[in-house]
Amino acid sequence: MSAIDIAAAVRTGNRSAVDVLDEHLNRIDERESEIHAFNLVLAEEARVQAEAIDAKVAAGEDPGPLAGVPVALKDNMCTRGIPTTCSSKILEGWIPPYDATVVTRLADAGAVFVGKTNLDEFAMGSSTENSAFGATHNPLDITRVPGGSSGGSAASVAAGFAALGIGSDTGGSVRQPAAFCGVVGMKPTYGAVSRYGLIAFASSLDQIGPFAADVADAATLFDVIAGHDPLDTTSIVDFIPSATASLDLGVEGLRVGVVQELSGGVGSVQGISPDVIARTRVAVEALAAAGAVVDEVSVPSAPLGLSAYYLVAPAEASSNLARYDGVRFGLRVDADTTGEMNTATRTAGFGEEVKRRIMLGTYALSAGYYDAFYGKALKVRTMMLDDFASVYQKFDVLITPTAPTTAFPLGERSADPMTMYVNDVCTIPSNLVGHPGISVPFGVGDDGLPVGVQVLAPATHDAQTFRVGAVLEAAAKEEVTS
Amino acid sequence: MTDLRESLLPEGWELVVGLEVHVELATTTKLFCGCANRFSSDPNTNVCPVCVGLPGSLPVMNAKAVDFAMRLGRALGCDVKPSVMARKNYFYPDMAKDYQTTQYDQPTSTDGELVLGDGVAIGIERAHIEEDAGKTTHVGGGGRINDAEYSLVDYNRAGVPLVEVVSRPDIRTIDHAKAYVSELRGILLALEVSDAKMEEGSMRVDANVSIRPVGSDELRTRCEIKNINSIRSLGRAIEYEALRHVDLYDSGEAPRQETRHWDEAGGRSTAGRSKEDADDYRYFQEPDLVPLRPSVEDVAAIDAAMPVLPKARRARLSEVSTMSADVIATIVERSQDGLALAAIDAGADADKVLTRIQNDLAVDDWSLVSVESLAGLISMETAGELTATQTKQVLARLVEEGGDPEKIAAQLGFEAMAVNELEGLIDQLIADNPDEWTRFAGGDDGDRKKMQGFFTGQIMKATRGQADGRAVAEILGRRASD
Amino acid sequence: MSERITRDEVVHVARLARLRLTDTEIDRFTEQLGDVLNHAADVESLDVGDVSPTSHPLPLVNVVRLDQLVESLDRSELLAQAPFAEAGQFRVPPVLGEEP
């Protein structure tokens, strides 16, 4: 059942929320041991929530638009009274004394949290192999990675553990795992969804985003979580989410641009697999067939995104992760002085990828190097904003593959960080400029694993991504049935 | 008044001092969260996820703090400009996030000046907004940081809004350093943005001290002296440090650029952290906050609402009286200038009003002394109705209970003798004491003095102390020259 | 391949970040960070003289809140998560050196 259908059934009393929950918990029982999507399954707490929903329905009260819908929450979002670990030893067992805004909104909407999902430690990674608590496996092929960093939430939806998932996307961490797992994943405009309670990785890039089995569900979830939050200074003040309202608009007359540099076209970055490029072309043709005006377009600074990102993100992360020092919460490894205690704690508590990025970021900000690295990367951002602004004069949305390849085998890319980093080449530019993007499954690659196609739109035009995504989804379905 | 301290340094050396003053703003809440900005002796009771730096927390700027900072900037004659917040990254347990959110290359205010009582202008380089840190208490080892057994951290003060005012190194004497601090305090009180009490820590002064040969304009190595807790300590610290530099140069060495700790009990400064531990703060723009852009209207409104500042208040008093700058400065510092001007307006003699206020109104609470009563009292004194002593006594009563000076004088039995009544009495005494009178009128200085005392004493006995000593002397003198 | 980041720099950066690395890790990080920085050479070598930096993708300014009290955290809930709490405060080993 889709999330929309579940909510409708529960609201009308046709199904109980407890019943829905049990169905999902059964699936978790069956396959979680081989998938490991969760750091923590919240069976007891979810039951309490589900019972409360059913009681509301019985009392004739409005239980909310997501009544009884099981939701999987990435374990880097604070849940009061419930451990929140970021899949790191340094926060193992930490219990936040407050809820993230997104958690409050979902609870108010009637959602039922089935669990906190696994992620790459502190959201740093593209495969969920960097978790301190073991990797998550792709439900479609458990020898493969689910993508990352929100691999657990993507896998939860793909495996039917939850009807909806919540992840965070800093360089592609919702969209890329969505592509690898064959589900819908979307990154909102920067500032559309509150970051209050999202444990920060890179503050100017992080956004919370929805996972779902289809575009309509994802749009419904988006409309619940998006909107201004006074607790987040970087939250857009007058953002009115309207994704569901745009779903049936079609693409007649819409100007669609295929980004050459990210789609195997002229000046393209290396490493985009031919089958992925092929599927993207089929997707573009489907849009043309549906009435869109399609053309190739150049975004010259797009290839610089990877480098700029791997300077900006670690720099901000190195500062955001300084607070993990053993003083106020989390792991403490004792020592003779506070300074030594900080060092011992962080050395024992952080995994290698996190340390690598903290080191990189600290270096990029340090005296003598700021201008050459971090400072320059901020200028690349300006260039990208300008490029996109001029492109969007002539186009309404842009298309690229979501990821360069399909899901790769576990362990294949662990030795060389750069081979892992290139996973994000298609998704990173939209993080740097703060634009929305959605990944919609569009068939499979040569290996039979899902391929995701990405739709990008200008800032605050989130609804457009769902609009186009819905058409792609319909086309993909038709392809299968025909 | 000439600066007696001009001879502080040996011949040929000149003092170069700049002051950094941290001012706690008197807002209701902290800089980035709604916790109370109020001293509490119960640790960690005014804290929240934001000011304790919990994972996922985000700052939101306090509008009043920005307003106060801009007012202070304008009062110091600064340009109030668009500004951004920045992160200053370093590890210390009282830093909840292990970075301080402050301002770096784009502060709220720049390029102002503070004019001292004697007209000397000290340049203000900048004034910027930043958050305060928590408090660390060192336990064991006599509370000294280097012998402690362990430390305890309280975050009640973490996040309190501060403005840091940085002067240019224009201060050349200790008296000017002290006057700078007093003047700044007066401005802060007039603006009502801080209670600026050094002893309570709501105004903290660090001194940057260096010396140079007279006549040169070089800036030599300076030392920053911290832990100065009173204006008196400021003077002692600057003196000690400057002489320490003299000694170093004299022995062919030079001071190291370092931060030093003032030890008031020991009367000396001691070296702080070694240079090896000097941190690279890796400043970058705070990504969780957005720039502040005051409008032209904002600044104009602040200028229009600017209260009369101490400098202007002193000027007003010196326009209407001939009292010295010191007396006027004291009265303005005590905020008694309003009372003085009003009494003068009501017709009382200006110099007498100021003299009385300076000498006899050095009390904490003079709210019961009304303008009318003060003016009336001064007029009575000027008319000779009350002696100086009697005036003081009536004033003391006014301070305690308020009321009407004439009534109080009557209650106390103070009727000043009418002059002709006094003359009559004196003539009688002269007639009754011819020998003594001969000695007074015709004797040498010694006799004259003695006999004056005799006659004055007799008059006082006869009038039960109600005769005005000066009037008596004047009459005696007149009679003697007849 | 020229050395992008030296071993000494890696050690210095680790100290700034309060991380202790083994010799093997120092070597590995020197190489890996060097790779990333090499890749970032396309950014480093850009001539972007006229371009101004963008710290933030959002053009927001002047976001402030009113100076109004909000309820503080319950201290016991906060300290329950502290590695070492004492007398209502967070206890840490001796802190050497003055605050910068």
**What percent of chain C shows pLDDT beyond 70?**
93
Cβ(C5)–Cβ(C41) below 8 Å:
no
In a domain, A423, yes or no: no
Of A466, A468, A434, A471, the C-alpha closest to A220 is A466
Exposed / middle / buried, residue A230 (Cβ in 10 Å: 0-12, 13-18, 19+):
middle
pLDDT at B3: 43
Is the pLDDT at B414 greater than 80? The verdict is: no
Cβ(A466)–Cβ(A215) below 8 Å:
yes
Which of chain C's residues have a Cβ under 8 Å away from the Cβ of B284?
Answer: 55
Cβ(B107)–Cβ(B126) below 8 Å:
yes
Confidence of residue B329 (pLDDT cuts 50, 70, 90): confident
Average pLDDT over residues B389-395: 90
Buried b (16+ CB within 10 A) or exposed e, B409-422: beeeebebbeeeeb
**Which is higher by pLDDT, A136 or C53?**
A136
Among B9-23, B161-175, B406-420, B433-447, the least confident range: B406-420
Average pLDDT over residues A406-412: 97
Q: Identify which of B61, B151, B280 has the shortest CB distance to residue C65.
A: B61
Confidence of residue B19 (pLDDT cuts 50, 70, 90): very high
Which of chain B's residues have a Cβ under 8 Å away from the Cβ of A373?
Answer: none
Residue with tokens 């832990």: B227
Greatest CA span in chain A, whole angstroms?
71
DSSP character at residue A141: B
Q: At what angle do helices B445-463 and B469-481 cross, to 10 degrees?
A: 130
pLDDT at B2: 39
Q: Nearest chain B Cα to C73, which residue?
A: B48
- What does the mean pLDDT of chain A come to? 96
Residue with tokens 């933030």: C56
Helix/strand/coil for B46: coil
Q: What is the pLDDT of residues B179-188, one digit of tens each?
A: 999 999 999 9
> In angstroms, what separates the C-alpha of B28 from chain A's closest C-alpha?
18
Cβ separation of B282 and A362 shorter than 8 Å? Answer: yes
Is the pLDDT at C59 greater than 90? The verdict is: no
Strands B135-139, B121-131: parallel, antiparallel or unpaired by DSSP?
A: unpaired
Peptide bond into A33 cis (omega under 30): no
In a domain, A107, yes or no: yes
Confidence of residue B386 (pLDDT cuts 50, 70, 90): confident
End-to-end CA distance of chain C: 39
- Residue window 6-35, chain B: list those with CB within 8 Å of chain C: 27-29, 33-35
- Give the type of residue at B303: D
Q: Give B100-106's long-range contacts (Cβ < 8 A, gap of 24+).
A: B100/B130, B100/B131, B100/B133, B101/B31, B101/B32, B101/B59, B101/B130, B101/B131, B101/B286, B101/B289, B102/B128, B102/B129, B102/B130, B102/B131, B102/B164, B103/B128, B103/B129, B103/B130, B104/B283, B105/B283, B106/B81, B106/B82, B106/B291
Q: What is the pTM of this model?
A: 0.90
pLDDT at A357: 96
Cβ separation of C83 and A97 shorter than 8 Å? Answer: no
DSSP character at residue A150: S
Cβ separation of B29 and C60 shorter than 8 Å? Answer: no
Neighbours of A206 (CB within 10 A): 28
Q: Nearest chain C Cα to A326, which residue?
A: C83
- Extended strands (E) in A104-232: 112-117, 164-169, 184-187, 207-212
Confidence of residue B189 (pLDDT cuts 50, 70, 90): very high
pLDDT at A7: 98
Neighbours of B319 (CB within 10 A): 9
Is the pLDDT at C7 greater than 90? The verdict is: yes
Average pLDDT over residues C21-26: 95
Is the pLDDT at C2 greater than 80? The verdict is: no
> In angstroms, what separates the C-alpha of A365 from chain C's closest C-alpha?
10
Neighbours of B10 (CB within 10 A): 10
Angle at A319 (CA atoms; ends A84, A79), nearest 5 degrees: 15
Which one of B50, B89, B282, B290 makes the best mutation probe of the A interface by having the most chain A beta carbons within 10 Å?
Answer: B282
- Cα separation values, A20 from A5, A54, A67, A217, C14, Å: 11, 11, 10, 16, 50
Is the pLDDT at A100 greater than 50? The verdict is: yes
What is the number of alpha carbons within 13 Å of residue B168 lying toward its C-beta? Answer: 15
Put simply, whether C6 touches A (Cβ < 8 Å) is: no
Which ranges constitute the DSSP H helices of chain C? Answer: 7-16, 23-39, 41-44, 75-79
Q: Nearest chain C Cα to A429, which residue?
A: C57
In a domain, A410, yes or no: no
End-to-end CA distance of chain B: 43
Cα separation, C55 vs A202, whole angstroms: 12
Is the pLDDT at B419 greater than 80? The verdict is: no
Cα separation, A212 vs A224, whole angstroms: 14
DSSP character at residue B416: P
Q: What is the pLDDT of residues A420-432, one digit of tens each?
A: 888 899 999 999 9
pLDDT at B30: 98
Give the domain CATH number at A197. Answer: 3.90.1300.10
Residue with tokens 């592609």: A172
Which of chain C's residues have a Cβ under 8 Å away from the Cβ of B299?
Answer: none
Confidence of residue A267 (pLDDT cuts 50, 70, 90): confident
Which of chain C's residues have a Cβ under 8 Å away from the Cβ of B44?
Answer: 75, 78-79, 88-90
In a domain, A442, yes or no: no
Q: Identify which of C48, C83, C97 has the shortest CB distance to residue A376.
A: C48
In a domain, A260, yes or no: no
Cα separation, C97 vs A157, whole angstroms: 51
The chains found to touch C (3+ Cβ pairs under 8 angstroms) are A, B
> Which residues are CB-neighbours of B381 under 8 A, at least 6 positions away?
B352, B356, B388, B391
Cα separation, B207 vs C66, whole angstroms: 34
User: What is the number of domains present in chain A?
Assistant: 1
Greatest CA span in chain B, whole angstroms?
99
- Give the type of residue at A2: S
Q: What is the pLDDT of residues B460-478, one digit of tens each?
A: 888 777 777 777 888 888 8
Which ranges constitute the DSSP H helices of A182-304? Answer: 215-225, 274-289
Tokens of A30: 């069956």
Length of chain A, in residues: 482
Confidence of residue C42 (pLDDT cuts 50, 70, 90): confident
Neighbours of B314 (CB within 10 A): 20
Tokens of B20: 């950094």
> In angstroms, what separates the C-alpha of A217 from chain C's closest C-alpha?
27
Cβ(B101)–Cβ(B86) below 8 Å:
yes
Which of chain A's residues have a Cβ under 8 Å away from the Cβ of B60?
Answer: 230-233
Confidence of residue B144 (pLDDT cuts 50, 70, 90): low
Cβ(B203)–Cβ(B185) below 8 Å:
yes
Is the pLDDT at B415 greater than 70? The verdict is: no
Angle at A109 (CA atoms; ends A106, A115), nearest 5 degrees: 40
Q: What is the pLDDT of residues A172-185, one digit of tens each?
A: 999 999 999 999 99
Cα separation, A166 vs A187, whole angstroms: 11
Cβ separation of C19 and A355 shorter than 8 Å? Answer: yes
Tokens of A449: 């694993």
Q: Which domain holds residue A101?
A: 3-246
Backbone angles phi, psi at B225, to 5 degrees: -105, 125
**What percent of chain A shows pLDDT beyond 70?**
100
Cα separation, A381 vs A236, whole angstroms: 20
Cβ separation of B56 and A77 shorter than 8 Å? Answer: yes
Backbone angles phi, psi at A168, to 5 degrees: -130, 145
Put simply, whether C89 touches A (Cβ < 8 Å) is: no
Q: At what angle do helices B325-333 and B350-360 cross, to 10 degrees?
A: 60
Residue with tokens 């740093």: A124
Q: What is the ipTM of this complex?
A: 0.96
Confidence of residue B4 (pLDDT cuts 50, 70, 90): very low
> Which residues are CB-neighbours of B459 under 8 A, at least 6 positions away?
B422, B425, B426, B429, B467, B472
> In angstroms, what separates the C-alpha of B113 from chain A's closest C-alpha?
31
Average pLDDT over residues B210-238: 95
Q: Which residues of A are catalytic?
A: 74, 149, 173
Put simply, whether A84 touches B (Cβ < 8 Å) is: yes
Residue ranges and CATH numbers for the domains of chain C are: 7-44 (1.10.20)
Cβ(A191)–Cβ(C60) below 8 Å:
yes
pLDDT at B417: 58
Of C25, C11, B259, C19, the C-alpha closest to A339 is C19
Cβ(A299)–Cβ(A458) below 8 Å:
no
**Which is higher by pLDDT, C40 or C27?**
C27
Tokens of B383: 């008319």
User: Chain-centre distance of CA B306, in angstroms?
Assistant: 20
Cα separation, A125 vs A420, whole angstroms: 8
pLDDT at B440: 86
Confidence of residue B279 (pLDDT cuts 50, 70, 90): confident
Which run of H or E residues covers position A318? helix A305-320
Q: What is the pLDDT of residues B341-353, one digit of tens each?
A: 999 999 999 999 9
**What percent of chain B shows pLDDT beyond 90?**
68
Q: What is the pLDDT of residues A191-247, one digit of tens each?
A: 999 999 999 999 999 999 999 999 999 999 999 999 999 999 999 998 888 999 999
Put simply, whether A421 touches C (Cβ < 8 Å) is: yes
Average pLDDT over residues A365-390: 92
Average pLDDT over residues A327-351: 97
> In angstroms, what separates the C-alpha of B374 from chain C's closest C-alpha?
40
Cβ(B382)–Cβ(B344) below 8 Å:
no
Length of chain C, in residues: 100
Q: What is the pLDDT of residues B52-110, one digit of tens each?
A: 999 999 999 999 999 999 999 999 999 999 999 999 999 999 999 999 999 999 999 99
**What percent of chain A shows pLDDT beyond 90?**
92
Is the pLDDT at B362 greater than 50? The verdict is: yes
In a domain, A438, yes or no: no
Cα separation, A248 vs C94, whole angstroms: 64
Cα separation, C1 vs B460, whole angstroms: 106
